[in-house]
Structure 1
Amino acid sequence: MTDSHRRGTATALLVAGCFFMEMLDGTIVSTAAPQIARDLHTAPTSVGLVITAYLVTLAVLIPLSGWLTARFGPRRVFLAAITVFTLASLACALAPNLGVLVGTRVLQGVGGAMMVPVGRLVVLTGTAKRELPRMVAYIVWPGLVAPVFAPLLGGLITTYASWHWIFLLNVPLGVVALLVAHRLIAPAPRDETPPLDLVGTLLTCTGLAALTWTAHLLSDQAGGSAAQTVAVGAIAAVALTAAVRHLLRTPHPLVNLRTLDVQSFRASALDGSLYMAVVAALPFLLPLLFQEVFGWGAVKSGAVVLFVFVGNIGVKPATTYLINRFGFRPLLIVSTLGLAVTTTACALFTRETPVAVIAVVAVLSGVARSVGLSGYATIAFSETPPERLRDANALFATSHQLAAGLGVAVTAVALRGGAALTDGTRSAYAVAFVVLGVLCLVPTAGALRLHPAAGDAARTVVPAQSRVTQSTVSDSRKSD
């Protein structure tokens, strides 16, 4: 293994660790909400602002990551992001009241919004196409592990320590990440940077903030009136529509939407986002089912959900081989269909269902999640031209971040709809699981439409019947 190869692997693992911190902090706080509310003398529902402030900041600032990287260089932005995230985590732990905690969470979101997209861009620009499956496999696992691990870790921390440790854990991890990044990531020459697209920034950030806030209102039963939700949703729709029109017409857009012309990237950004919505919703819905319907404690509930993690990690060493052996299209068809089936199967769970059966379904769901997310995260950049890599990375990060929040919102709405249409709490959960299962069939349909050779540029082993001329591959990138 060459020095550059080892450095690339180490950088991918570093970004994976940063991704884990970012994802964990986006999900674990909900577990500690009652304890935070008691300590800060506020209502538990008000603690929802702590979660939403973080998610809104991530969604708003991620699109800026591409321009900031071009302007200041990836090393400088990445190191600054880790520093801000770590210091903000310490400030969160020391917050004396809810207002300060919300403000420090916004700062934490500023660091998180730059930390992972910029780190992933460093890995992508230094990786040959054939090495993408292996490198992406390292980066993807935190997105799978953190939401599953968060309920158990949050339960343990709030049971045996205090909520402050949710944030204090980031401090030593952030210090180590900063030292490693300073050593690993070398300064890179900066390209000539066009002026910041101020109109695009204003429209895009406003639209994304409003959309994320709409998702919060939908997912929080006490979050706001129907009129408020509709009004914020309308602002999101108007701002994002205007943003798309502007970004397609301006010569130097904040994010180049024409990157979506590449079919493989379009599949990852659109179908992959729907898939991510279902993936993010399950760690939210399963613990609620176990605790509200089955009457389990937080620790037992979190421990059973960890079987999803077993499936994630169990298949992870094989994902690169599976991509190289079978190609992206078959794997995405099987993984999306597998997640749809296992999610729908959760609708059949009752108090009498043996834990072993639940565990098996959870493991199979974890396998589907791992293979599917690895496939979408790899095919996204497999055929993207180098000059559009920065835009593709920003679009990918933004769409998947939004999808995670929207998945929870869709689940909450399905739960309330199920409660209105049925006569029991368990039936409401069954409706929610079925809705998520049906939603996951949309990416299955998208995978069926993929060109058989889509993503072959990132494969090491390409079957003879899949080898096509460069012109054919280029044609497969375009929309039909």
Structure 2
Amino acid sequence: MNETPTHQPLQPQFRLLVFLVSIGFFMQGLDTTIINTALPAIAHSLNEDPLNMHSVVVAYVLSVAACIPLSGWLADRFGVRNTFFSAIVIFTIASLGCAFSGSLNQLLFFRVIQGIGGALLLPVGRLAMLKIIPRTQFLAAMSLMSLAGLIGPLIGPTLGGWLVTYMSWHWIFLINLPMGILGVLVTLKAMQNVKEIDVKKFDLSGFILLVVSMVGLSLGIENFSNPQHPTWFSIALMGTGIITAIIYAFHAHTHQNALFRSKLFKNKIYSIGIIGNFFARLGGNALPFLIPLMLQVAFHFDPFVAGLLMIPTVLGSLASKPLVRPIIQKFGYRQVLLVNSLLVGVCIASFALTSADTPIWARAIHFFIFGVLNSMQFVSMNTLTLKDLPQQDASSGNSFLSMIMMLSMSIGVALAGTLVNLFTSYFGEAQISSAFHLTLLCLGSINIITAFIFWQIPKNTAV
């Protein structure tokens, strides 16, 4: 008697669904990276200072982080097809709004709307595959979908630089329109509207507390160097974020229907992983924003060249994938994360040694090494964080990790932008490269200090 294999190849009837989810994954991954090389051109078009454009990245990433807790409940309540369809429509219309924005405030408004759509695309798409595709074929489906997630960040910076150089910055948003229309049509054909019969009442009060906390922390840091706002305003925002986070911690402990119950954090490994993820990602997630800006504003590189130079980072990330598991199995999570956190920190700080005269080949090697180390850090942290969660907490724990990852990116970009502005005001415009260099040293130092968090990992932690 033949046993059914644990993993089977993907059957033809599910390929269109995987293609659809891949479109959403690709759109989100592309939009997170394509804008980085275009920021100086957008700033020039809107008569803004390029050093104040980090808010365009923060607005998108922060709205993604804020709406991730909403995605699962909406899919259960209204069905995966209806939610995914709405997400693509919102994302596409917001992209059109971004392209025709005539001011920074208009662009920020549509970036927030775009982030709301983007927050639903990947989690709901993954959930749809989980509910529709048989478990024996799920690994094959996820492997195919993950390719789209790699292609988006791979071509994003270069495509953004090319569009800005040879067309206009508006096309970095208009490019989403044909993909969005295709996604809408395929959704109606390929996705069943699977929904849950018994859906718990949504934890609205907890959701509001989380949103206020994330917005307060991110905007407080972002506005710290803004001359239009007094310092007390930024401190008040950050204080509000911290206080609401504390209130949510109490809410999570007492509220039966809380989005993320406090029992999640009784798992020591999960708690260390979450805290480590937050701090270790501040520098790593800020660099795709900071480096293209430095290359263009401080070193006067062409946007297309600045985008091309980011490709080795993604290639390094791809090259590290087969290495991570054997290295962890040989040395264990604790040793790998301790050493790698220090190496990533040193690598980030070492970008401060570069100048406009640094040879292209040396930059390429530098970016490749950073890509390898940063990817190893992210994969190791993610697997450590989730590996010991019981099945009943897996969905909630994964959603909270996703939210923390996006929040860390938001705060990391806000922090990088604020530091550059503070150092620029101190050194003056003539010494703007020094402002970028000191910012890189600060971000690298944060990553080095993060190693103390991973020091708390028990030595006998199983792989």
TM-score by length of structure 1 reads 0.79
Deviation at 1:186, TM superposition (A): 4.9
> In structure 1, what is the Cα distance between the partners aligned to 2:411 and 2:458?
28
Residue matched to 1:447: 454
Could you tell me which of 74, 99, 102 is aligned with 1:68? 74
> In structure 1, what is the Cα distance between the partners aligned to 2:47 and 2:258?
45
Q: Describe the SS at the equivalent of 1:370.
A: helix
Residue matched to 1:297: 302
Residue matched to 1:269: 274
1:155 alignment partner AA: G
Residue matched to 1:281: 286
Go from structure 1 to structure 2 and tell me whether the alpha carbon gap of 1:110 and 1:426 turns closer, same or farther (over 3 Å shift): closer
Equivalence map 1:337-356=2 (5 Å)? 337-356=342-361
> In structure 2, what is the Cα distance between the partners aligned to 1:31 and 1:366?
18
Equivalence map 1:170-319=2 (5 Å)? 170-178=176-184, 186-188=192-194, 190=196, 192-218=198-224, 221=226, 224-319=229-324
Could you tell me which of 112, 116, 140 is aligned with 2:122? 116
Go from structure 1 to structure 2 and tell me whether the alpha carbon gap of 1:369 and 1:328 turns closer, same or farther (over 3 Å shift): same
Equivalence map 1:426-465=2 (5 Å)? 426-451=433-458, 454=461, 456=463
Could you tell me which of 150, 153, 162 is aligned with 1:156? 162
Deviation at 1:402, TM superposition (A): 0.9
Deviation at 1:146, TM superposition (A): 5.5
> In structure 1, what is the Cα distance between the partners aligned to 2:83 and 2:147?
23
> In structure 1, what is the Cα distance between the partners aligned to 2:305 and 2:443?
24
Equivalence map 1:289-438=2 (5 Å)? 289-319=294-324, 322=327, 328-416=333-421, 418=423, 424-438=431-445
Residue matched to 2:4: none
> In structure 2, what is the Cα distance between the partners aligned to 1:307 and 1:169?
24
- Greater displacement, 96-105 / 393-402: 96-105
**Which runs of no fewer than 5 residues in structure 1 stay unpaired?**
457-480
Residue matched to 1:166: 172
Q: Is the 8 A contact 2:319 2:372 kept in 1?
A: yes
Q: Describe the SS at the equivalent of 1:433.
A: helix
Q: Is the 8 A contact 2:36 2:288 kept in 1?
A: no
1:397 alignment partner AA: S
- Greater displacement, 69-78 / 116-125: 116-125
Equivalence map 1:29-40=2 (5 Å)? 29=35, 31-33=37-39, 36=42
Deviation at 1:151, TM superposition (A): 4.0
2:276 alignment partner AA: D
Q: Describe the SS at the equivalent of 2:371.
A: helix
Residue matched to 2:87: 81
Deviation at 1:400, TM superposition (A): 0.8
Deviation at 1:40, TM superposition (A): 6.6
Q: Describe the SS at the equivalent of 1:449.
A: coil
TM-score by length of structure 2 reads 0.81
Which digits, 9 at most, give the CA deviation of each residue in 1:86-109, with x for residues without a partner? 233234335576665544433322
- Greater displacement, 23-32 / 64-73: 23-32
Q: Is the 8 A contact 1:54 1:106 kept in 2?
A: yes
Q: Is the 8 A contact 1:137 1:320 kept in 2?
A: no
Go from structure 1 to structure 2 and tell me whether the alpha carbon gap of 1:92 and 1:261 turns closer, same or farther (over 3 Å shift): same
**Which runs of no fewer than 5 residues in structure 2 stay unpaired?**
1-6
1:71 alignment partner AA: R
Could you tell me which of 6, 22, 30 is aligned with 1:24? 30
Deviation at 1:401, TM superposition (A): 0.7
Q: Describe the SS at the equivalent of 1:253.
A: coil
Go from structure 1 to structure 2 and tell me whether the alpha carbon gap of 1:302 and 1:105 turns closer, same or farther (over 3 Å shift): closer
Q: Is the 8 A contact 1:336 1:372 kept in 2?
A: yes
1:446 alignment partner AA: I
Q: Is the 8 A contact 1:144 1:369 kept in 2?
A: no
1:240 alignment partner AA: A
Q: Is the 8 A contact 2:351 2:440 kept in 1?
A: yes
Q: Is the 8 A contact 2:343 2:373 kept in 1?
A: yes
Which digits, 9 at most, give the CA deviation of each residue in 1:296-340, with x for residues without a partner? 222222222322122112223444555566654444344323312
Residue matched to 1:461: none
2:73 alignment partner AA: W
Go from structure 1 to structure 2 and tell me whether the alpha carbon gap of 1:403 and 1:114 turns closer, same or farther (over 3 Å shift): same
Go from structure 1 to structure 2 and tell me whether the alpha carbon gap of 1:321 and 1:130 turns closer, same or farther (over 3 Å shift): farther
Which digits, 9 at most, give the CA deviation of each residue in 1:120-162, with x for residues without a partner? 4456789999999998887778777756754432221122112
Q: Is the 8 A contact 1:149 1:306 kept in 2?
A: yes
- Greater displacement, 135-144 / 70-79: 135-144
Q: Is the 8 A contact 1:63 1:254 kept in 2?
A: yes
2:354 alignment partner AA: F
Deviation at 1:408, TM superposition (A): 1.7
Q: Is the 8 A contact 1:247 1:254 kept in 2?
A: yes
Q: Is the 8 A contact 2:77 2:196 kept in 1?
A: yes
- Greater displacement, 32-41 / 130-139: 130-139
- Greater displacement, 257-266 / 90-99: 90-99
Q: Is the 8 A contact 1:136 1:378 kept in 2?
A: no
What value does the CA root-mean-square deviation take over the aligned residues? 3.9
Go from structure 1 to structure 2 and tell me whether the alpha carbon gap of 1:216 and 1:364 turns closer, same or farther (over 3 Å shift): same
Residue matched to 1:468: none
Residue matched to 1:475: none
Which digits, 9 at most, give the CA deviation of each residue in 1:48-86, with x for residues without a partner? 665454334223322222332333344442333223222
